[in-house]
Amino acid sequence: MREPILLVLAISFIAGAFASFLTDWMAFYVVLGIGIGLSLLIPALWQLGPKRWVYLLGTVIALLACFYVKWRTPQPQVNDIAKYAPLSNVVVRGQVLEPPTLTRSERARFVMAIAEVNLAGKTVRPLPPNSPPPATESENVAAKFIPASGKLYVTVPLIEVTGLRAGQAIELSGRLYLPSRADNFGAFDFQSYLARQGVFAGLSGRSLILQGDSPSFGEWWFISRIVRAHVMGAGVPEGSLLSSLVLGGRAVDLPSDLKDEFVKAGLAAILAASGFQVTLVLGAAIAISRKSSLKLQFLSGCLCLGGYLLLTGASPSILRAVLMGFGSLMGMLVQRRSRPIAGLIVTAVLLLIYQPLWIWDLGFQFSFLATLGLMTSSRAIAQYLPWLPPAIADLLSVPIAAYVWTIPLQLLIFGKVAIYSLIANVLTTPIVTIATYGGIISGVLGIMFIPLGAAIAWLLYPLLRLTIVIAQWVNTLPMASTSIGEISIWQMLIAYGLLMAIWLGAWLHKKQRWTIAFTFFCLVLFVPNAIAQANTFQITLPFFNDVPIMLIKSQNQTVLVNSGDRQFASFTLRPMLAKSGINRLDWAIATDTQPDFSDGWNALVADAVQIGQFRDVSLGVAPKAYQSLQQALLSSKTATASLKLRESLTINDQVQMQLINQAPDIFKLKIADLTWLLIANNDPKSQQAIVAKKELLPQLAADVLWWTGGQIEPAILQAINPKIAIASATSVVEAMINQLYENKVRVFWTGRDGAIQWTPSQEFYTLRDQQDGRSPI
């Protein structure tokens, strides 16, 4: 009876930590209400289980956990470096906290702890021994450093980090800035991500000077020799992949394009050091020492776990696996059978006590859910595959169990699934197992003698190449990555409730009942989104510099006006489409006539976004600028044409679009009961051309003015006579704002408000309104 009590209290702690995202008093009332409700309901239904006082005590623990997370949330100190931001030129001194890694833009990044700051921005290079002091007092002032504290997220040119190690003291000059909040709905919130690590400012570095001697020895020495052995033997990218299989992505910089291939194929887990690698390391240690005493087996296992932890870094998934591996060793030593599920839950509590903010770490969440799925469901799934040989059934059941238990969280966060993930995992698991074992042997030999380790890596090249080919092949299959749409939190909770019921409920263990419960699980996850998407009528104006971009969802028709550049399309627009459940653009309309505008469309087509109809005002004007885009659209069988003057483009009975003027281009959109006027180019010369066309001015009347933030001539503004003005711009001319306010026009602009949305029920609302209504946690 003692074990169920401990499990209830441990789960209460985890649930309370999750509730910390609510505001203080709301968290208190929600946790208290749910706790009291469960204390009344569960003992009545489960009479042989823990008594009512256990659930009441669990409620108290949940409340304490909730406020413990809030208490441990980092806050800037009085002299934090962030209080000086932004500054265009600053010099800081401090210590590197983690090894540099590579960004997608081929710059190095790392986090450093700050000790001093020079606000004058003068880099002070070390003086030779016995050199005279600065010649003038002004030099002394310029070189003055003052104490500071906190951490900085640093990016610098790659050449600057040559020889840089964790623990190295450095002096760094560059631009100090405050990380920005997410500017678009569903976008990655970089500011919150850094804040959870206690980082409240960033520095775009220009030059770096090492202070003192570099560390002569450390875990980096072992890592560098392992990676050199792998790359020397298997080449690039196969050698880098082998290092990632052994050490994980935190220790090795895998090429971004290869990493994307594995993520799209649903194979991201094999690139992250986790329980799979820890199991192999621990299994190898026990196998080698199996003829020794239990104490020696325990000692060798602990040494291997500790060494692997030092090499890969203390990520939540690795710590979870190492702690559970240590628990298994303890069970072996005392000759007692371990209880994996109890160990998993206790491990989660210990890690959250150590670092409570890991409750929001996706690696922590996915690692525990996948492990729980393997423990609770893999054996049952294997039993429902009786037509397969037992070994094959066991092989299939492992990825199926992990996939089923992680898919609700995946849909909540990303809104899409890798359809062929199970096939990819089944095909690659045997290959990856052999390659990882070989990579460990190669790494150990490489530490002693690099060419010897490289010889083993060379033998593994065919397996590594085959793994990459499988990932690439899976991504070529139809609908390899399908956008389902972001599910609601209630859908996720019901889905996990059903999985728990299937696991714990003896009544559901029969095949027919289990099938009914699993069918309901699928209905909860997928049907509400399908119904909602069929009835959604929504306009979204994302923020991207000064480019007007609009996404329209109406009556199962999706329209995208402009795509931005390649980076915006890949890392902001594509995730936004996935979270909206959009796999196909029925209409793609390009009003931006910049020569490189096609990069964004190319990125979408390359990412398997289907486009039904493509319209452009410039395809016939400068075909060379769009040659690659035209070829991509032709290959995807997309119908293309140029918009003609006065031509009305009818999407459905709710959405129409018309090009009412060329040079400058002016578009009129009829969306529901609102008339929009898009003026994509409002430079003075273009406006003079508009004013000169007297017959054009009456056609400009619209409810919504949509422009890029510059000053608009009074005659044009009077002709438009808008009720609402929306600027897709980083900033808006102050005189223009005053002019609009004088005319009692409601003004939005994406640079201030973030992305803007409109629905028939909510009218216009902004991302900043949504963010300001949330808890700072």
Please state the domain extents for the chain: 2-72, 81-126+137-216, 221-360+424-482, 361-419+487-530, 537-772
Distance CA 583, CA 775 (A): 32
- 3 state SS of 772: helix
From the CB of residue 55, how many other CB atoms can be counted at a distance below 10 Å?
A: 22
Specify whether the CB–CB gap between 227 and 244 falls below 8 A. no
| CATH number belonging to domain 537-772 | 3.60.15.10
pLDDT along the chain (777 residues), means of 10: 76 87 79 86 78 88 90 89 91 91 87 90 54 48 78 92 86 92 86 91 92 76 90 91 86 82 87 79 81 84 85 83 84 75 87 90 88 85 79 80 90 88 87 90 91 93 94 88 86 87 67 73 87 87 90 89 88 89 90 69 85 78 63 84 86 89 87 90 81 86 91 89 92 89 91 91 83 49
> Rg (Cα) of the chain, in Å, rounded?
30
- pTM, two decimal places: 0.85
Nearest-5° Cα angle at 579, 574 to 585? 55
Q: Where are the beta strands (DSSP E) in 119-185?
A: 146-147, 151-157, 169-177
Distance CA 97, CA 231 (A): 26
Tokens 């459905």 -> residue: 652
The per-residue DSSP string of 59-111 comes to HHHHHHHHHHHHHHS----TTBGGGG--EEEEEEEEEE-S--EE-TTSEEEEE
In the structure encoding, which two tokens stand for residue 713, read together? 């001539």
Q: Beta strand 101-102 with 87-96: parallel, antiparallel or unpaired?
A: unpaired
In the structure encoding, which two tokens stand for residue 170, read together? 């450095």
What pLDDT shows up at residue 141? 44
Distance CA 775, CA 652 (A): 40
Specify whether the CB–CB gap between 273 and 318 falls below 8 A. yes
What pLDDT shows up at residue 670? 93
256-264 and 461-475 helices, crossing angle to 10°? 60
| CATH number belonging to domain 81-126+137-216 | 2.40.50.140
Chain length of the chain: 777
From the CB of residue 486, how many other CB atoms can be counted at a distance below 10 Å?
A: 21
Of residues 578, 590, 592, 586, the one with CA closest to residue 552 = 586
Distance CA 429, CA 418 (A): 17
Helix, strand, coil distribution of the chain in percent, nearest 5:
55, 20, 30
Distance CA 359, CA 17 (A): 7
What pLDDT shows up at residue 173? 93
Sequence-distant contacts of 136-143: CB under 8 A, at least 24 apart:
142/118, 143/118
Distance CA 457, CA 76 (A): 47
What pLDDT shows up at residue 777? 35
- 3 state SS of 705: strand
Of residues 581, 641, 643, the one with CA closest to residue 609 = 581
In the structure encoding, which two tokens stand for residue 563, read together? 């795509």
Distance CA 214, CA 165 (A): 7
